[in-house]
Amino acid sequence: MASNYKTILLEQKTHGVWVLTINRPESLNALNSTVLNEMGEALRQIGEMDYSDARALIITGAGEKAFVAGADIKEIHDLDEEKALVFAQRGQSIFHELTLLKIPVIAAVNGFALGGGCELALGCDFIYAAENAKFGLPEVSLGLIPGFGGTVRMARAVGSRRARELTYTGGMITAAEALSAGLVNKVVPQAELMNTVMKTVEAILAKAPIAVGSAKFSINQAWDMDVEEAQKNEARIFAELFTSEDVKEGTGAFIEKRKAEFKGR
């Protein structure tokens, strides 16, 4: 794995479980072009791995204050319309890669998740947060709107009315409020955050990786389909899994009352 990253860390926590850390604590892990480019490269590397090497990805921020406190304001201050479009499209494209990965991506939000940081968390499959975490889309305070998918994903996460309130006011909500709104899956003390995430990851690792990846694919595709079309798509994916060895292993293990040994094929 590449070791020359300047603004991120990509480390294997246990076999098959990778942790991507935004590593600019002096800037509260603010996103700039270098971070986005390095994230894109790291996600490409993860995406090219087989299930034998990659089963889950955890994204977090360095330090105890911030997950990602937003975009780097110093960098975006001098953008013109054309460069701003490129910047927004780049961020959207990279965050969309989280959706395209065949493995689960969990955000471990350890502090401020504002602006681009909130959008990054929203791009993950689900979110666990430390008790001190704060969430918000404060872009209107800068004369802007969220540009990395925030106006799209927030509404889908918490409903349009709550998303409008958060986006129009630019206010922050606590981890507890985010949990109540359905933005966050679980809130724990900061010292317990990574261990709690890992417990969930371990539960996922015990399941068939192709099935987990297919479930992610089906859920994500259903966003853009009506119910009937989405159900037809689900049935197709369900049927395709019967060509995998894991289905034979999983059903056979159940019948034989033993633990399944999934191979990811």
Domains in the chain: how many in total? Answer: 2
Name the active-site residue from 38, 97, 119, 234.
119
Counts for the chain of helices (H) and strands (E), in that order: 11, 10
CB atoms within 10 A of CB 33: 16
Mean pLDDT for each consecutive 10-residue tract of the chain (265 residues)?
81 94 95 95 94 95 94 88 93 94 97 97 97 97 95 95 96 97 97 97 94 93 88 91 88 87 83
The pair of three-digit structure tokens given for residue 102, joined into one six-digit string: 């065949």
Residues 18 and 137 in one domain: yes
Is 100 part of any domain?
A: yes
Same domain, 183 and 215: no
Longest dimension (CA), the chain: 65
Q: Do both 233 and 140 map to the same domain?
A: no
Beta strand ranges found along the chain (DSSP E): 8-14, 17-22, 56-61, 66-68, 105-109, 112-114, 126-130, 134-136, 172-174, 186-188
Instruction: Verify that 122 and 228 share a domain, yes or no.
Output: no
The residue among 90, 126, 132, 89 whose CA lies nearest residue 113 is 132
pLDDT for position 3: 58
Same domain, 128 and 247: no
Same domain, residue pair 140 and 252 = no
Residues 149 and 224 in one domain: no
CATH code for the domain of 213: 1.10.12.10
Domain annotation covers residue 75:
yes
Which of the following is catalytic: 139, 177, 202, 249?
139
In a domain, 263, yes or no: no
Q: 135: exposed, middle or buried (C-beta count within 10 Å: 0-12, 13-18, 19+)?
A: buried
pTM exceeds 0.85, yes or no: yes
Range(s) of the domain holding residue 87: 8-205
Same domain, 35 and 114: yes
Active site residue 139: yes
CA dist list (Å): 198 to 20, 53, 57, 128, 261 = 14, 17, 10, 11, 20
* Same-domain pairing of 124 and 244: no
Say what the pLDDT of residue 4 is.
83
Give residue 250's pLDDT.
Answer: 85
> Looking at the structure, do residues 216 and 120 belong to the same domain, yes or no?
no
Residue 16 lies in a domain: yes
Three-state DSSP state, 159:
coil
56 in Cβ contact with 101 (< 8 Å): no
Cβ contact 66:112 at 8 Å: yes
